[in-house]
Amino acid sequence: MTNFVDDLAAALSGAKHAVVLTGAGISTESGIPDFRSPGGTWDKFDPMEVASLDVFIREPERFWAFHRPRFDMVASVAPNAAHAAVAELQRRGLVKALITQNIDGLHRRAGSPDVIEIHGSLSSGRCLRCDFRLSTDELLARADAADDGVPRCECGFQLKSNVVSFGEMLPGEELDRAFEHAGLADVMLVIGSSLLVAPVSNLPGFVLANSGTLAILTEGETPYDSRAKIRLHTKAAETLPQVLAALDTLDQTD
């Protein structure tokens, strides 16, 4: 594993346009379960029954019964050493873009200067019918005041956070930025993602098509494992500080 840590440090140090792509696995050591590990969220819930746009429209009470506790869970945890290490890589100028599938806001709280939140975030809400927009505090105040737990707009329609639900369009600007950076990347480091959900799961393919280096730091398997030049099946919060230490050693020998 030490070789792979050194290899990853060397790849990041020599990259012209390194991009980091993160998934739920980077937040598990903060206490947020991921989705597809044994015991993960989708072991307990069917995403199509609790997190799809169709359920939000047809049965908003069921949607909000799943969605509401996630706000408190995210508020109750803190970024871990992996989030901090990614922010440090950005600060050192070694990472040109951070793309995350996570909606927990932990990258921003760890100090990452710019985060492409391709699946949206919990940080605000809106009405899909009249495009009324509101803060999370106001959204949750309306949810908690409602007998059925469903926050409603003045137009009468139910409100949701800006987290992308299954079947919902991804935010266009973030999607464009993510694919633009993937097209420019000569190194992509994937951290804590199973790379199973499109369109994000297509991003590593862009790097490979450009003969770039794909590095994957994810405990579980991914469809790209055979094509990753650097593959670590270790815990991100343990390994990324080791990568930073290896970079410091490289700097000293330069």
* 107 part of the active site: no
Stretch that binds ligand APR, among 6-14, 25-33, 64-72, 130-138 (CB under 6 A): 25-33
Kindly tell me which residue out of 132, 220, 227, 241 binds ligand APR, with binding defined by CB under 6 A: 220
Distance CA 218, CA 26 (A): 9
Kindly tell me which residue out of 30, 90, 121, 218 binds ligand APR, with binding defined by CB under 6 A: 218
Task: Please say whether the beta carbons of 242 and 222 come within 8 A.
Answer: no
79 lies in the site for ligand APR, by CB under 6 A: no
Paired strand residues for 237: none
Minimum separation from the CB atom of position 146 to ligand APR (A): 25
Kindly tell me which residue out of 10, 36, 52, 205 binds ligand APR, with binding defined by CB under 6 A: 36
CA-to-CA separations, 214 to 62, 118, 208, 209, in angstroms, rounded: 39, 20, 7, 11
Helices (H), 76-194: 81-91, 106-109, 136-145, 172-184
Task: Please say whether the beta carbons of 142 and 149 come within 8 A.
Answer: no
91 to 130: interface string for ligand APR, x by CB under 6 A: ----------x-----------------x-----------
Kindly tell me which residue out of 9, 11, 12, 24 binds ligand APR, with binding defined by CB under 6 A: 24
- Name which of residues 225 to 254 contact ligand APR (CB under 6 A): 235-236
Distance CA 106, CA 30 (A): 9
Question: Which two tokens mark 96?
Answer: 């040109």
77 lies in the site for ligand APR, by CB under 6 A: no
Distance CA 165, CA 66 (A): 12
Question: Which residue of the set 17, 107, 119, 181 is catalytic?
Answer: 119
197 lies in the site for ligand APR, by CB under 6 A: yes
Phi then psi dihedrals of residue 178, to 5 deg: -65, -45
- 3-class DSSP state of 26: helix
Residue positions counted in the chain: 254
Number of residue whose CB is nearest ligand APR? 25
Stretch that binds ligand APR, among 3-11, 34-42, 123-131, 173-181 (CB under 6 A): 34-42
Residues that bind ligand APR in the complex, under the rule CB under 6 A? 23-25, 28-29, 34-37, 40, 47, 101, 119, 192-194, 196-197, 218-220, 235-236
Catalytic residue IDs: 119
